[in-house]
Amino acid sequence: MTHPGGGAYDDQSSVVTGDAVVLDLRPAGFATRMVALAFDLVIQVTVLAGANLAAVRVGADLDPAAMAAVIVGVTVLTVVGYPTAVETLSRGRSVGKLVMGLRVVGADGSPEQFRQALARALCAVVEIWAASGVIALLSSMINRDGRRIGDFVAGTLVIEERAGREPETEIAMPPWLAEWAAAAEMSALTPETVAMARQYVLRYSELTEQARHEMGNRIAGLVSAGVTPPPPEGTPPVAYLAAVLAERRRREEEKLARRQGRHGAPHTRQE
């Protein structure tokens, strides 16, 4: 099948985002990561100072041992619990990373998991808090992808997210699948799954054989959960996905044409 898109692909810098969309993203630059880290540290220090002050005031009548336990608990929740919860819930984006357009993903491009966020936070206690950031700084400077020790332990990578959208590129319908696609039910497809499939098809010719096989099977499996009936036996994943995308686009264009009161291609409104 002829690939309808183009562009350079680099296995070292192109990954799958938290939504599993194949994008030409690259590891975050050293300076960008440091600025994002500074944002996060300011927030954590502020939260830590406020929480400890509140704990001291509320627990003024506690004995010293109990007060020490409270302070330790508050510190652990702020230093470890806070970044773990934020990165897990935001799918790899702390406040600082959100500001700087960064995201934490697995080293294989998969979404950051709770255990990975926890491992990063635990390592940060030593390499950032205990060592005043020196260990994290040296590790990030030495590694070409800017990974600190916590990234190696957790199996993660901080990437730059692409801003903006690519121009629409039409994906052709494989002729032998046109009849099947026209009768298929696709209403259960989600926008995230469609975007994922689209990026895979557009970059198919740029991927390695292994990436084509692994990504194709994975994405086709996700798409098949929202499309019935299945395609003819033996249909390659890339052809299956192209057929689904082409048919979905055709249906959307028909809906738009009907809304505009026409049965052909969407018209351009005259001002």
Q: Packing angle between helix 237-259 and helix 191-202, nearest 10 degrees?
A: 120
In whole numbers, what is the pLDDT of the chain averaged over residues? Answer: 82
d(CA 214, CA 46): 45
pLDDT of residue 175 exceeding 80: yes
For residue 112, the surrounding DSSP H or E stretch is none
Confidence (pTM)? 0.55
pLDDT above 70 coverage of the chain, percent? 82
Q: What is the pLDDT of residues 59-74, one digit of tens each?
A: 667 778 888 888 899 8
pLDDT above 90 coverage of the chain, percent? 42
Q: Are residues 150 and 127 in contact, defined by beta-carbon separation less than 8 angstroms?
A: yes
Place of tokens 């630059």: 29
Q: Of 2-11, 105-114, 252-261, which gets the smallest average pLDDT?
A: 2-11
pLDDT of residue 195: 82
All structural domains of the chain with their residue ranges: 26-160, 175-259
Q: Of 81-85, 182-186, 200-204, which gets the smallest average pLDDT?
A: 200-204
pLDDT of residue 2: 36
d(CA 164, CA 29): 19
Q: What is the pLDDT of residues 37-57, one digit of tens each?
A: 999 999 999 999 998 888 778
pLDDT of residue 269: 43
pLDDT of residue 247: 95
Read off the pLDDT of each residue in 4-12 and give the average, rounded to a whole number. 36
pLDDT of residue 243 exceeding 90: yes
Q: What is the pLDDT of residues 75-84, one digit of tens each?
A: 999 999 999 9
Q: Phi/psi of residue 102, each to 5°?
A: -115, 165
Quick one: tokens of 29? 């630059």
Quick one: tokens of 3? 């690939």
Place of tokens 């959307």: 252
pLDDT class for 170, splitting at 50, 70, 90? confident
